[in-house]
């Protein structure tokens, strides 16, 4: 076999973060499974352990796609003007430039697997956001803009 000149294989155990540094952001513990550094910026994967209903504001990634798969619980996911009701095993793609948001609709713990392609600076965004003391809307909007995203509306309503 020819030598491998790509990234080295990386094993990440269940319920752990790639660098043992989970991030807390908007009601979720974010575990990096594939780092931007692992793929020279081509891809980044997070396992989001959520603790209750709700989710982030409607937003746009200007330079990356976001693929979302529900691992546990139920979620409403808006992409453009369409709202999808997803359960474990279901997934949806939010293309770059298209407004999207999700909200956990089930009680108790839930999980999402999110893939960002290309990775851009999404990993840095989550790291910086998790370091904020209060994570105010203004701080999140400022960070989003600095990392190629734009907040364009409120979070999805959860009844």
What pLDDT score was predicted for residue 2? Answer: 63
Token duo for residue 40: 């020279």
pLDDT of 154 reads 96
Q: pLDDT > 70: what percent of the chain?
A: 97
For the question of whether the overall pTM of this predicted structure is more than 0.85, the answer is yes
Residue 36 domain flag:
yes
Domain of 135 in residue numbering reads as 23-148
Q: Judge whether 6 lies within some domain.
A: no
pLDDT digits (tens, 9 = 90+) for 2-48: 666 777 888 999 999 999 999 999 989 999 999 999 999 999 999 99
Q: How many CA atoms lie within 13 A of 6 on its CB side?
A: 7
If one counts every other C-beta atom within 10 angstroms of the C-beta of residue 128, the result is 17
Identify whether the C-beta of residue 8 lies closer than 8 Å to the C-beta of residue 21. no
Q: Give ∠ CA 51-53-59 in degrees, rounded to 5.
A: 105
Which residues of the chain, if any, have pLDDT below 70? Answer: 1-4
The pLDDT score that the predictor gives to residue 135 is 85
User: Does some domain include residue 9?
Assistant: no
CATH number where 27 lies: 2.60.120.10
Domain for residue 83, yes or no?
yes
Domain annotation covers residue 64: yes
Percent of the chain with pLDDT over 90: 89
The count of domains in the chain is 1
Evaluate whether residue 8 is within a structural domain: no
The answer as to whether 62 is a domain residue is yes
Q: Is residue 18 part of a domain?
A: no
């Amino acid at each position: 076999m020819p030598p491998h000149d790509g990234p080295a294989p990386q094993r990440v155990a269940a319920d752990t973060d790639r660098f043992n540094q989970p991030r807390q952001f908007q009601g979720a513990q974010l575990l990096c499974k594939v780092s931007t550094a692992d793929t020279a910026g081509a891809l980044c994967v997070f396992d989001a352990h959520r603790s209750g209903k709700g989710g982030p504001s409607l937003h746009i990634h200007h330079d990356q796609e976001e693929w979302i798969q529900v691992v546990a619980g139920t979620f409403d996911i808006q992409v453009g003007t369409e709202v999808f009701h997803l359960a474990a095993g279901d997934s949806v793609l939010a293309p770059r430039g298209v407004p999207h948001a999700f909200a956990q609709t089930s009680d108790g713990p839930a999980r999402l697997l999110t893939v960002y392609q290309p990775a851009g600076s999404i990993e840095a965004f989550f790291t910086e956001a998790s370091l904020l003391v209060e994570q105010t809307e203004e701080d999140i909007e400022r960070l989003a803009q600095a990392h190629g995203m734009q907040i364009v509306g409120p979070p999805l309503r959860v009844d």
